[in-house]
Amino acid sequence: MYRLLEFQANQIEMVLASHDVPSRVFGGLVTPRFVQFQLAPPMGTKVKRIASLSEEIALSLGARSCRVYRQGGAVNVEVPREEARTVKLIPLCRRLSQVPPCTAVLGLDESGTPLLLHLPSPDVAHVLIAGTTGSGKTALLRTMIASLAMHNRLGEVQLVLVDPKGRGFAPFADLPHLLHPLVNDAEETLSLLRRLVAEMERRDQEGISEPKVMVFVDELADLMLVGGREMERVLTRLLQRGREAGVHLVGCTQKPTAAVIGSLVKSNFPVRLVGSVTSPEDAKVAAGIAGTGAEKLLGRGDFLVVVKGQVLRLQAAYVSVGEIRKMVTRLREGGRRSRRWLEEATGTERKAEVGLKARLASRLRLVKAGGR
């Protein structure tokens, strides 16, 4: 492994030097899905010039693609690993001594640190997940729902699951946290959202916001297309006023353009989780800012978290349908989240993922990808 990383660092430097951009690899990270090399380019070098050489770098490394972007005072080159590792939700939850109320576990950031999302936070409130088919949108929604159910009592969080496809949320059909049975029909969804708006107005009048209501919508664009202007109006009201009343919405779509989901709906999602997309133009639309490199993401849970113009790489945690069903059964039996249950659910899983840490030729520094 060390020899491979040293070879890749040398190749990156050779490609850049051959194009009159002499740079030095001075550090990096090894993560479950990719290796990140940190470059120190010469003073005055344009980042766009290095980014334009991404295909040449990928060719020299024998990789299908690579992602080049600036982070702080360094330029990062990310290369996919040949043997990617899955980040599993339940072993990840075992690593967490405590999860705050109403907080969803997302996965691991690029340094191997567990990443959580506190939905009632003023900086969050509502979340939009975007990406093409195969990017892992529905799987990420399942992870968020499962983590909220495991770490919150019935009186703390109530869930509303809208699934136009009728398959994404099916394993949660018997979850006791559900405020309403699974919704698949657009007409029924519109009726339910109207009731939520009425509940929001009642809470505003009484000055209450408990229990929190989390609305998860799979394929938001499809719902908007079928529901029309009335669906857009109701969703916009929930998004604009829902946070103070304890109502939060998490939706996913393939392409969050104003033409698809409406300009008012689009403007009320402070947090974006962006998966793989097909082009730089789609990446700009999905993230709301240019230059994120989302078109170079690897899919299958590889996401960018975009908050107020800041971008963070995320490998989403995965929970299987079988694990969800076992969790739902246990919760219905009254076995709310406990450390013992998490240990039983993991079976013989390792307690933590182990990363690499070493110094290579005084140049390439690796840090843990996911230890305690």
Q: What is the 3-state secondary structure (H, E, C) of the chain?
A: CHHHHHHHHHHHHHHHHHCCCCCEEEEEEECCCEEEEEEECCCCCCHHHHHCCHHHHHHHHCCCCCEEEEECCEEEEEEECCCCCCCEHHHHHHHCCCCCCCEEEEEEECCCCEEEEECCCCCCCCEEEECCCCCCHHHHHHHHHHHHHHHCCCCCEEEEEECCCCCCCHHHCCCCCECCCCECCHHHHHHHHHHHHHHHHHHHHHCCCCCEEEEEECCHHHHHHHHHHHHHHHHHHHHHHCHHHCEEEEEEECCCCHHHHCHHHHCCCCEEEECCCCCHHHHHHHHCCCCCCHHHCCCCCEEEEEECCEEEEEEECECCHHHHHHHHHHHHCCCCCCHHHHHHHHCCCCCCCCCCCCEECCCEECCCCCCC
Q: Which tokens is 164 given?
A: 């136009």
Q: What is the pLDDT of residue 271?
A: 92
Q: What number of other Cβ atoms are within 10 A of residue 83's Cβ?
A: 6
Percent of the chain with pLDDT over 90: 39
Fold of the CATH domain 2-84+353-365: Threonyl-tRNA Synthetase; Chain A, domain 2 (3.30.980)
Percent of the chain with pLDDT over 70: 90
Distance CA 206, CA 368 (A): 49
Q: What is the pLDDT of residue 32?
A: 78
Per-residue pLDDT of 187-197, as tens digits, reads 899 999 999 99
Query: Vertex 122, ends 119 and 127: CA angle to 5°?
Result: 45
Q: What is the pLDDT of residue 353?
A: 31
Per-residue pLDDT of 156-195, as tens digits, reads 999 999 998 888 899 999 999 999 999 988 889 999 999 9
Distance CA 217, CA 138 (A): 10
Distance CA 66, CA 123 (A): 31
Segment 142-159 shows an average pLDDT of: 92
Per-residue pLDDT of 203-246, as tens digits, reads 999 999 889 999 999 988 888 888 888 998 999 999 999 999 99
Distance CA 151, CA 103 (A): 8
CATH of domain 89-324: 3.40.50.300
Domain ranges for the chain, please list them: 2-84+353-365, 89-324
Q: What number of other Cβ atoms are within 10 A of residue 208's Cβ?
A: 11
**Confidence check: pLDDT of 354 > 50:** no
